[in-house]
Amino acid sequence: MAVARARAQAHGYDGLNFRDLAADIGIKSASIHYHFPTKADLGAAVAKRYREDSAEGLERLWIEKGKPAACLRAYPGVFRKALERGNRMCLCGFMAAEYDDLPDTVKAEVKAFADAHVAWLTRALAASGVDADPEQVERRARAIFAAIGGAQLMARSRADVSVFDEIIDSYRATGLIPA
């Protein structure tokens, strides 16, 4: 699963090639097929694990930071880590770009990932008192999620994590992300 995740973060759903995965691991592709009969099964399992790991990470962030404003300041770092690890993308962000070509089971996981992040951001924004209107808070949460994904994409296209940092700083300066 870790190798499949890394390949998908670098190459998207197309990176989940059984033969290449098997070669990377040093096993036969039949061994992967035993656990995941189809590429859709493997893709859904990898996306689901990624979503679950991400949700756990967000909850750890909430507990460790203790205050909603601190959580919001730390949130972009969740996406920065992928760039630091070999100029990778958020797995579900990468797959979202391939949405039309994904099996329904993978689409569901990609959507669930985005929904979980927007819900977490909504919770943090509401708890920080940024806006009293729940509809506005959720709109802003979606904007933050999309903006950080865009910053990650810009940085990846230049293989330069400092681009991500500069863009995030500009989001803070303009007020999109609370400073």
Looking up residue 159, the CATH number of its domain turns out to be 1.10.357.10
User: 31 lies in a domain?
Assistant: no
Reply yes or no on whether the pLDDT at 5 is more than 80.
yes
Distances, alpha carbon 83 to alpha carbons 7, 76, 92, 152, in Å:
14, 11, 14, 7
How far is it, in rounded angstroms, from Cα 42 to Cα 46?
6
Domain contains 25: no
Q: What is the signed CA dihedral for 142, 147, 85, 19, rounded to 10 degrees?
A: 70
The answer to the question of residue 139 being in a domain is yes
Cα–Cα distance, 134 to 159 (Å, whole number): 37
pLDDT tens-digit readout, 152-176 = 999 999 999 999 999 999 999 999 9
Q: Which residue has the tokens 């699963």?
A: 1
Q: Distance between CA 57 and CA 63 in Å, rounded?
A: 10
pTM assigned to the model: 0.92
Domain count, the chain: 1
Q: 12-17 long-range contacts, Cβ below 8 Å, gap at least 24?
A: 12/94, 12/95, 12/97, 12/98, 13/39, 13/43, 13/95, 13/98, 13/101, 13/102, 13/106, 14/98, 16/42, 16/43, 16/46
Residue 30 lies in a domain: no
Whether 144 is covered by a domain: the verdict is: yes
* Residue 149 belongs to domain spanning: 49-174
Residue 60 within any structural domain of the chain: yes
* 22 located within any domain: no
Is residue 106 assigned to a domain? Answer: yes
pLDDT in tens, 77-121: 999 999 999 999 999 999 999 999 999 999 999 999 999 999 999
